[in-house]
Structure 1
C-alpha cells in the first residue's frame, strides 16, 4: 500500500519518480467525462430551449474551444512537475495567487456537491438507504480515494472509461428504441442566443478543468511531448464530454418535462429492470466517483497552495493531507444536502458563474507561460515570497479584476443579467470577453516586464541557498 499512496502534494515531482505516457491523459479525461453530470449539462441546453440539433452542434463547438484551453494547461504538467495552481504564483505572486485560488476552491466544493447529489441518488437506490445517506456514503468513498492519490485516480479513469463507454452505447441504443433520431433532430428552428448558451455550457464545463488539469499530468516524464499531452488530453476530454452531452440533449428532447428533477431515474429507466437497473446505478456512481475524486484532490491541492504561500510550506505530511481532504469532503457534502432539491437550475447558474471566474485566470496563465515567459520558470522561487516572483504581483491581479468586471455587462444568469445582454438578443458572450480582454491586457502590461524571467527553467535551489531555506522554513 505504501507504494500506492501518494507522497507528493505541492512539491515538484522529481524526474526519478516520473512515469507513464501522454495516452494516460486520454483515458483519465475520457473516464472523467463519461458520467451523469455531463449528461445533465447537455440536457440543460435543451431544457432551456435549444433545439436538439443546434444544442448538439453548440455543445461540440464549446467542448472543442474550451477543451483546447484546458489542454494547453495540461501540457504544463510534464514540463513543470507541479500542480496547476502553483504555477499561478509566477503571474500573481506567491501570496497573490491566493486570490484566484479562493474562487477555485469554491469551484471544487460546488462540483463535489453537484456530483454528490446525482451520485447520492444512485447510491441511495443501489443500497436502498435513500438519497441523503447515499450522498454521505458516496462522499466518504470519494475522500478515501482522493487520500490515496494519483495512482488510484488514473486507475479509476481507466476503469470508468471502459465501463461507462460500454454502458453509454447500450443506453444510446435503448434511447433510440424509444424515440426516432430523425424526429429528435427534425426541428431546426435557430436562436442565436440559445445557441450561444449551448456553447457556453460546454465551454464552461471544459474551462473549469483548467485549474487542476496539470495536477494529473505532472508525473509524466519531462521529455513527454507537449503536443502529445495537449492532443491526448483534448481528445479524451472532448470525446467523453461530447458523448455524454449528446446523450443528455437527446434524452431531454425525448423525455420533455419527464427529465427535469428525475435525471438519474430517467437514465436508469432506459435500461429496463432487475439486475440491469442495479448495474446502471453502479455505473452512475462509478462515473461520478472518478470526477468527484478529481474535484476533491484538486480542492486539496488548491487549499494547500493558498495556505502554503503564507506559511512558506513546501511539503505536507500524511495527517495534514487527510485533514485537508476531510475539510473539502465535509464542505461539499453540506452544500449537496442543502441544494439537492433545486439542483438543475442552480447547476446551470453555477456553471456560468465558473466560466466568469476562470476565463480571466486561464487567459493570464496561458499568455504568461507560452508568450511572456516562454515556458521558463524558476520553480524554487515559486515558494519564496522574497524571490523573483515576490509576494504580490499587482499587474496580474489588476488585469484579473478587470477581466472579471469586463464580463458582467454580457453575463446572463438566473440571478443577474447584464445591460448588454438584451441588445445582443439575449446572447451571453461573457466568456469570450473574459478570455480576450485579460489576454490582450496582460500581454500589453507585461511584454516588457521580463526582468524576473530566468534564461532557462530552474528546477532546484543551489546547495548553499537550500541550506539557508531549510533552516528558515517550517517543516511540512
Structure 2
C-alpha cells in the first residue's frame, strides 16, 4: 500500500474513488471502541439511573450527529480538507484561529486515548506506564503517516470485528442481570442537571468530529450525492457511538469500572481469550487515535500554508509535522495519566466552547449563504476573493465564546447560569448565536456571488499547485 502523497490540496476528479458506503464503516469503527464507552458510563457514575441515561445518550447522539454529517457532505463536493474550507468564512490567514484551537483539541483527545490504552498495552507487552503510552504513540504515528487509504481499510475491518466482540460483551454482562429499578422512568428518578449533562456529553462527542469529518470523504467522486454522504456518515456515527455508549452505561450500572480502565473491563469478560480481546480493543482505539493525529497534522499544515499559498507538502515535511505532534501528545498523556477523570471530562465539555461555534458558522455559510458554491482555488490564495482576515467572522466567533462563559462548567469553574440550571448547556448558545449572527451579517452574499463562486466548486489541479 502506497503512502498518501496528498495533504491539504484539492483532490482532482482523476484521483477520486470509492463509494459513500465506506463512510459508514469508518465512522462506525471510529466510535465502536472503548473510549466511547467511557462517555456512556459517566451519567450512571454521576447518579442518573439507566433508563434516563439511555434516553439522554440517544438524544445527544441523534442531535450532535446531524452537524457532523452535514460537514461530511462537503467533502466530495469540494474535494478539500474540512478546515481549508473555513478560509471562505474566516479569511485565508484568519482561519488560523479556529485551526489552532482544533489542533489543540485533537492533541488533547489523542493524549487521552494514550492514557485509556496504557493498561491494555501493558496487558500484552511487559512495559512501564510511560513506555506503554510511548508505544501507542509510535503505532499511531506509523499508521497516520501512511494515511487516508490505510485508515479507511482499518475502519472497514474493525467495524465488523469490533461489532462481534462488543456484542458478545453485552450478552455476557446482560446474562448476569441488572439491579432492580435501573430502568424506572419517573419524576423521582429523573435528575435534570445530570440528564442535561449526559445529553451535552453525547452531543459534544459527535459534534467534535465536525472539524475533520470531510478529511475522510474528500477522495469520493463528485458524482456522489450530498444525501448519500450525509446519511452514510450520520448512520455510521449514530450506530457506533450510541451502541458503545449504551454498553458503557449498562456496565456502569452493574458496578463494572468502565471509566478507569475500559480496555480491561471488556477483556476480562473473555476468560481464556483476554489477550485476543486486548488486541482488538487496542486496534479499535488506535484507528480513532490515528484519525485525530492525521487531522491534527492536516490542520497544522493548513495554518502554515496560509502564509505562502502552497498546497503541496513533501513526505518528509509530513513526517516531521506528525512526529512533532506525536511527541507533544505523548508528553501530555504521560503528565495527565494519573489525573485522567478530571482531564477527560474537561476536554470533552471544553471543546464545545470552541468547536461548536466554528461548526455553526461553517454550516451557515455552506448551506444558507453560499449553498455550496465556492472558488476552491481562492482558498489557497492569500490575496484572493476570501481575503486574508475576515474580521466580522472572527468577531462573531469571539462574541460566541464570551457569551458561553456564564454557561460553562469545568472542574475549576462554574458559571452563574450553569449553577442555576445545575449543569453545562453551553452547546445550545454555541450553535444558535453564531449561526444567526453570521446569517444576518452575510445574507446579502446570496444575491451577490462573484463569477468565480457561481460555478462548480471543482477546479483543475493546475490551479492549486502553481503549474
Fold-level match, TM-score > 0.5? yes
Unaligned segments of structure 1, at least 5 residues: 472-476
1:226 equivalent in alignment to 2:226: yes
Query: Equivalents in 1 of 2:457, 2:324: separation in Å?
Result: 34
* Alpha-carbon contact 2:38-2:258 (below 8 Å) kept: no
**Deviation (angstroms), 1:134:** 1.6
What is the rounded CA distance, in whole Å, between the counterparts of 1:430 and 1:395 in structure 2? 22
Q: Give, in angstroms, the shift of residue 302 of structure 1.
A: 0.2
Structure 1 residues 1-29: Cα deviation after superposition (integer angstroms, max 9, x where no partner): 4xx21111000001011011111100000
Task: Give the Å deviation of 1:103.
Answer: 0.7
Per-residue CA deviations over 1:220-249 (Å, capped at 9, x if unaligned) read 000101001101101010110011100111
Alpha-carbon distance in structure 1 between the residues aligned to 2:29 and 2:13: 27
Q: Is the 8 A contact 2:103 2:300 kept in 1?
A: yes
Give, in angstroms, the shift of residue 268 of structure 1. 2.2
Is 1:215–1:298's contact at 8 Å kept on the other side of the alignment?
A: yes
Matched, 1:159 2:157: yes
Task: Note the aligned Cα RMSD (angstroms).
Answer: 1.8
Matched, 1:309 2:306: yes
Contact kept, 8 Å, 1:73 with 1:213, in 2: the verdict is yes
Question: 1:440 corresponds to which residue?
Answer: 436
Higher mean displacement: 276-285 or 384-393: 276-285
Cα deviation for residue 313 of structure 1 reads 1.4
Match in the other structure for 1:416 = 413
CA shift digits 1:37-69 (9 cap, x unpaired): 100111112122222211111011111111010
Q: Counterparts of 1:238 and 1:124 in 2: how far apart (Å)?
A: 31
- Deviation of the 1:416 alpha carbon: 1.3
The Cα shift of 1:345 comes to: 2.1
**Alignment-derived partner of residue 196 in structure 1:** 196
Is 1:255 aligned with 2:255? yes
- Structure 2 matches for 1:277-292, cutoff 5 A? 277-292=274-289
Instruction: Give the TM-score, by structure 2 length.
Output: 0.95
Range that drifts further, 338-347 or 387-396: 338-347
Q: Paired residue for 2:454?
A: 455
Q: How many residues are paired up?
A: 462
Task: Tell me how far 1:191 sits from its aligned partner.
Answer: 1.2
Deviating 4+ runs (over 6 angstroms): none
State the Cα deviation string for residues 135-170 of structure 1 (Å, max 9, x = none): 111111111111111100000101111111000011
**What's the TM-score once normalised by structure 1's chain length?**
0.94
Secondary structure of 2:83's aligned partner: helix
Distance 1:210 1:56, change over 3 A: same
SS in structure 2 of the partner of residue 427 of structure 1: coil
Tell me if 1:405 matches 2:392.
no
Matches within 5 A, 1:71-220: 71-180=69-178, 183-186=181-184, 188=186, 189-220=189-220
Paired with 2:129 and 2:34, the residues of 1 have a C-alpha distance of 16
Counterpart Cα distance in 1 of 2:245 and 2:15: 37
| Ranges in structure 2 where 5+ consecutive residues have no aligned partner | none
Q: Using the alignment, how far apart are the partners of 1:178 and 1:406 within structure 2?
A: 47
CA distance in 2, matches of 1:282, 1:122: 8
Output the CA distance in 1 between the equivalents of 2:340 and 2:356.
Answer: 24
